[in-house]
Amino acid sequence: MRVRYAETDQMGVVYYANYLVWFEVARTDLLRHSGWSYREMEADGFALPVVEAHCEYRQSARYDDDLEVGATVALLSPVRVRFDYAVVRLSDSAKLACGHTVHASLDPAGRPRRLPDRVRAALTVSP
């Protein structure tokens, strides 16, 4: 992932909210590779809204930096999932930030809904 000009602010570094956008990109990549894309998930009648987001910033990402945003996933309960993230700059392997998000599994009416068995199986395997 390469840092976009739009993602910087006048301090000359990436605006802090954009790390959460990158987390989401890494999260959906992970889901896609687990065989359950976010698109399918929504088609299947599931939503995974964020109930908690957290980020710790160590060094600033800058415009044009090449980054890798890694994500791992853990099943907290049949209706709750946690993703952990690390943002690494590829040029020097510096760890710029880390964080996590917690998500509820809901049906279209907004009620908790147990994740499908195949998805739970996919998510409990270390990626």
Contact residues toward its own copies (CB under 8 A) are 2, 4-6, 8-13, 15-18, 20-21, 24-25, 28, 37-39, 47, 49-58, 60, 63-64, 101
96 vs 123 by CB, closer to its own copies: 96
Q: Return the bridge partners of 1, or none.
A: none
Q: How far is the CB of 126 from its own copies (least distance, A)?
A: 24
- Look up 66 and say whether it is catalytic: no
> What whole-number distance in Å separates Cα of residue 77 and Cα of residue 69?
25
We find the least distance from the C-beta atom of residue 18 to its own copies, in angstroms, to be 7
Separation between Cα atoms, residue 86 and residue 94, nearest integer Å: 10
46: Cα separation from own chain's centroid: 17
Q: What are the phi and psi torsion angles at 52 (to 5°)? A: -155, 140
CB of 60 to its own copies, least distance (A): 7
Active-site positions read: 9
